[in-house]
Amino acid sequence: MEGNIYITGLIGAMPMEKGVELIDVISQVKKQPEATSFNVHINSEGGVVDTGFDIYNYLKSLNLPLKTIGSGLVASIATVIFMAGDTRVLRENTQFMIHLPMGGVDGTADEIEDYAKEVRSVEDRLVKFYSEKVNLDKEAVRPLLKNETWLDGVKALELGFSNQADLPMVAKAYLNLNTNNMTKEDKSWMESGFEKIMNLLKTKVSNIMVQDANGATLDFPDIEEGQEITLGSLASVDGEPADGEYVLPDGKTFVFAGGELTEIIEMEEGADSEDMQAQLDALRLENEQLKTAKLEVETEVETQKELVVNLTKEVKEFKKQITSRFDFDSKKDKKEDGAELSPAQKALNKLKTRK
């Protein structure tokens, strides 16, 4: 059995934002105990370096055939996970980007120097990793990372980041217009018709996405529009393999296990349509209420984010004022010239002067 793992969006946890963690990948694998190989679907802008390497090491530790499939965007530490595949393929129009790690720290000069050493250590680790994986000298890899290099499918294949081309089926036709029996009008008409046909053949076909009665969207990446959803079809929900039952608005139920469609339950004949409609209406109402509650929570989160940002700015400004205004030498000078003397001390000095 061929299993599927989905890694979508941010990798690791950032402040106020949670991404795909190692535990999420382990959970997907555990739900597919019969899998003898895995397809790892990646569409990610990257994230936390340590988390990316943890996921890479875990995938390699499975000791199973792996095929990594990049679609949309594979960038930053997501490219490290991509390299875990024995077979590595980038879908058409996918962007692949490698660069040096980034970060920032506040603190003393010693603390900043220690942090810089840590970042350089990570840089060396990435250079060594890519160099070994694509069989390039470190002197060739480092400039690619430093310059934030973007690669399309062709370049990634040439450099060795991917090792299998994504070869979509291309319809080819040949038209011989060199016949003496054709008039110029005939040739012009046929050329125009031929061009229209080829444009239709080149049109990108999108995959099927189905929404259930609760508003969950089932994404079938391997089924094109117009094709039938059948047993064995693969689907995901919010980037995770679909699992459990999903009731569709027409009463049909899809049952999934580890992302694979295992059963299609049709609505029983003779079922009370009014009762079914009432249930669907209740589900839709509940879905709308959940959406409203989610929106309220998101609004509150954004408000709290804004408060945190403003508070951070205020703290930084406050720290700046303290460090810029405090000057030990100027305080000493003011005391010596009497600028900081108390009124009583000033009066005493005047008396001393009169004497």
* Residue numbers annotated as active site: 76, 99
Nearest 10 degrees: Cα torsion 91, 94, 98, 103? -120
How close are the terminal C-alpha atoms of the chain, in Å? Answer: 106
CB 8 within 8 A of CB 25: no
Count helices and strands in the chain by DSSP H and E runs: 10, 15
Tokens of 190: 């046929």
CB 46 within 8 A of CB 78: yes
CB 222 within 8 A of CB 207: yes
CB 254 within 8 A of CB 264: yes
Tokens of 283: 């589900």
CA–CA separation, 346 vs 114, rounded Å? 51
Q: Which of these, 38, 39, 96, lies nearest to 72 by C-alpha position?
A: 96
Which DSSP letter does residue 234 get?
B
**Long-range CB pairs of 325-332, under 8 A, 24+ apart, other chains included:** none
